[in-house]
Amino acid sequence: MTTWKFGNDIDTDAIIPGRYLTIYDPKELASHAFEGTRNAFAKEAAEGDIITAGRNFGCGSSREHAPIAIRGAGVQAVVAISFARIFYRNCIATGVLPVICPEADTITEDEEIILHLDEGHLTAGERTLKVEPIPAFMRKIIDAGGLVEYAKNLTEIEICTK
């Protein structure tokens, strides 16, 4: 597992350049993730990796391609001080776990991170950092792989009572 550290105000154009917006396959999008910004990411990101960032991660356009590219790269979570509102919701809709951690910028590159979401914290090396809770209904959507997969698995009774 690798921790990829980014700074503040990471724009969706930096995550996936606009010229790739005709691609919808997560793996193919992942092959262009952070192209021109951090080229090693597309080549080296692996299943279970975590992205950490400062403030306003995912600012810019509202494209869903950005979290889809991150998911396609195998990233299990993005831990940031804060997220652009639409990017946060797009993460949930596409099955990427967005974790708000006020001290995310203190996590170093390649530091081992273990998420303890039910307990409200994560461990980064020897440190314990608080994280904001993720509502249960959002966790169900993320765990299902996104909104489409979640909806596919609803029963007729659940649909009528929601």
Cα–Cα distance measured from residue 50 to residue 128, given in angstroms and rounded to the nearest whole number? 16
Please count the other Cβ atoms lying within 10 Å of the Cβ belonging to residue 22. 7
* 107: β partners: none
Quick one: pLDDT at residue 154? 80
Structural domain count, the chain: 1
Q: Give me the domain span that covers residue 132.
A: 3-161
Q: Report pLDDT for 153.
A: 84
Q: What angle do CA 87, 88, 89 make, to 5 degrees?
A: 90
Q: Is residue 61 very low, low, confident or very high in pLDDT (cuts 50, 70, 90)?
A: confident
Whole-angstrom distance, CA of residue 111 vs CA of residue 162: 41
Average pLDDT, the chain: 93
State residue 31 phi and psi, 5-degree precision. -70, -10
CATH number at residue 144: 3.20.19.10
Query: Over the stretch 95-149, which tens digit does the pLDDT of each residue have?
Result: 999 999 999 999 999 899 999 999 999 999 999 999 999 999 999 999 999 999 9
pLDDT of 147 reads: 93
> Is residue 156 pLDDT above 60, yes or no?
no
Give the model confidence (pLDDT) of 48-57 as tens digits. Answer: 999 999 999 9
Residue 66: count of CB within 10 angstroms of its CB: 28
